Amino acid sequence: MMYRNPISSTAVLLGFLVWGLHPVNAQPPAGYYDSAEGLTGQPLRIALHNIIDNHTALSYNALWNAFLTTDARPGNKVWDMYSDIPGGTPPYVYTFGSDQCGNYSAEGDCYNREHSFPKSWFNDDSPMLTDLFHIYPTDGWVNNKRDNFPYGNVGSADWTSQNGSKLGLCVDPGYNGTVFEPLDAYKGDFARSYFYMMTRYYGEMSGWSSPMLANGDLSLWAMAVLVQWNDLDPVSTKETDRNNVVFTKQHNRNPYIDRPEWVHDIWGTILGIPERSGPSLSIHYDGSNLLVDRGDALPGTLSVLDMAGRTLFTSSIAGGRTNFTFNGTAGIYIVEVASPEGRSIQRFIR
């Protein structure tokens, strides 16, 4: 097997420091979403569709050059969500151009163009075929293993990539076929890609076919999974930067990166789930102590999870400020607080 030189965990951590303690806001032009403000449900989706419709479509070959700015890490390296290990050392890291597929025979050989929303689902039609908001550079072998299987949560994996992405039978209610599950750290990225597709191509999907689709929209089981993934993995600086760069190329944006609460305003109304935003939550980590400030929120339960979704610590928590001792290994962690008022999520780096 052919391996690339891995980047250090320190470099990865520095790249993720900006995820930090507070939400990150992308920068749409002033007035870009004015016609959508104050709307919910299908009227909101239609308004957003009209805003982001008729984008400038790239050629298929132009995707390779686009990746140089949409999915780049320092040193001309590729940001591959199917091989990256946030807070750790990836098994391989690709260099733009020299590691481009080509042929491959194993994981770690080269990178290619992954349609996270498989092109067979929309019959290889344009402009979906080259829409950067769902196309990413990924390891060719993992891309091939993912094939055109839906995204979903896997129980017992039939196959696992070197960064922990999994292929296996779905455990989500409503579907029992084979699905592909990326790392928790990137589930929100892919979920918001799908919500973009359901909005940009609203009214154009009647001929599309996938286990994740029904009646020109997401099927209910897929809708529930992707809303969950949107909430689990909040918008990162990686996404906002990518949104801004794609805007310069396609002249449209992913509204669910700019305004992730719109996911619930549209699909949450169908599923009958509450608003995404929970009570106020601010965290600060000083190297050994985790300071949590919840303002005047009601008592709840605090959980600390690693990036694989494993719960490492739980405790009851009151409103106001609470100090916890936390001495986990170096990496990125998720703090989740659930209370009668809702669920709030933040990240911190140890």
Q: What is the pLDDT of residues 198-256, one digit of tens each?
A: 999 999 998 999 999 998 899 999 999 999 999 889 899 899 999 999 999 999 999 99
Tell me, yes or no, whether 276 lies in a domain.
no
Neighbours of 199 (CB within 10 A): 23
pLDDT grade for 306, boundaries at 50, 70 and 90? confident
What percentage of residues in the chain have a pLDDT greater than 70?
A: 89
Q: How far apart are CA 24 and CA 26, in angstroms?
A: 7
Tell which phi-psi region holds residue 164, choosing left (phi > 0), alpha (psi between -120 and 50) or beta. Answer: left
297 plus 254 within the same structural domain:
no
- The answer to whether residue 120 sits within a structural domain is yes
Q: Is position 277 within any domain?
A: no
pLDDT tier for residue 346 given thresholds of 50, 70 and 90: confident
pLDDT tens figures, 140-186: 999 999 999 999 999 999 999 999 999 999 999 999 999 999 999 99
Q: Verify that 190 and 127 share a domain, yes or no.
A: yes
Residue pointed to by tokens 């303690």 = 21
Q: For residue 65, what are its two tokens?
A: 């050059």
Backbone φ and ψ for 287, nearest 5 degrees, come out as 110, -25
Q: How much is the pTM?
A: 0.75
Backbone angles phi, psi at 322, to 5 degrees: -135, 140
Structure tokens at 306: 């690693």
Q: Give the Cα separation of 226 and 181 in Å (integer).
A: 11
The reply to whether 182 falls in a domain is yes
Domain stop point among 221, 245, 271: 271
Tell me the residue type at 38: G
Placement of tokens 């300071």 in the chain: 291
Listed residues 250, 271, 292: the one ending a domain: 271
Q: Residue 19 is part of which domain span? A: 9-271
Residues 6+ apart with CB under 8 A from 235: 23, 24, 26, 188, 192, 257, 260
Q: Are residues 262 and 286 in the same domain?
A: no
Burial of 75 (0-12, 13-18, 19+ CB in 10 A): exposed
Read off the pLDDT band of 300 (50, 70, 90).
Answer: confident
* C-beta atoms surrounding 123 within 10 Å: 11
Q: 154-160 and 166-170: which strand pairing?
A: antiparallel
Q: Which of 95-104, 294-303, 316-325 has the highest mean pLDDT?
A: 95-104
Per the structure, the count of domains in the chain is: 2
User: 195 and 95 in one domain?
Assistant: yes
The answer to whether residue 4 is domain-embedded is no
For 205, phi then psi, to 5°, come to -105, 10
Confidence of residue 311 (pLDDT cuts 50, 70, 90): confident
Question: What would the pLDDT profile of 121-131 be if each residue is shown by its tens digit?
Answer: 999 999 999 99
Let me know whether 287 and 264 are in one domain: no
Rounded CA separation 121/205 (Å): 10
Residue 244 and residue 133 share a domain: yes
Q: Are 30 and 176 in a shared domain?
A: yes
Q: Does one domain contain both 261 and 291?
A: no
* Residue 22 within a domain: yes
pLDDT bin (cut points 50, 70, 90) of residue 7 is very low
DSSP 213-227: EETTEE-HHHHHHHH
CA 335 – CA 278 distance, rounded (Å): 13
**Domain at 299, CATH number:** 2.60.40.3080
pLDDT band at 20 (very low <50, low <70, confident <90, very high): very low
- The answer on 307 and 191 residing in a single domain is no
Is 325 in the same domain as 195? no
Distance separating alpha carbons of residues 167 and 157, to the nearest angstrom? 6
pLDDT for the residue numbered 16: 34
Q: 327 pLDDT band (50/70/90 cuts)?
A: confident
pLDDT, mean of residues 15-34: 58
Considering the domain architecture, whether residues 189 and 260 belong to the same structural domain is answered as yes
First to last CA, the chain: 33
Q: What is Dmax (Cα atoms) for the chain?
A: 58
- What angle is formed at CA 7 by the lines to CA 233 and CA 102, rounded to 5 degrees? 90
Distance CA 292, CA 324 (A): 8
CA-only gyration radius of the chain, Å: 20
Q: Is residue 3 part of a domain?
A: no
For residue 166, the model assigns a pLDDT of 97
User: Is residue 320 located within the same domain as residue 266?
Assistant: no
Strand locations in the chain (E) = 72-73, 77-78, 111-115, 135-139, 154-160, 166-170, 178-181, 213-214, 217-218, 282-285, 289-293, 300-306, 311-317, 321-325, 332-339, 342-349
Say if 101 falls within a structural domain.
yes
Of 271, 305, 336, the one marking the end of a domain is: 271
Average pLDDT over residues 324-330: 82
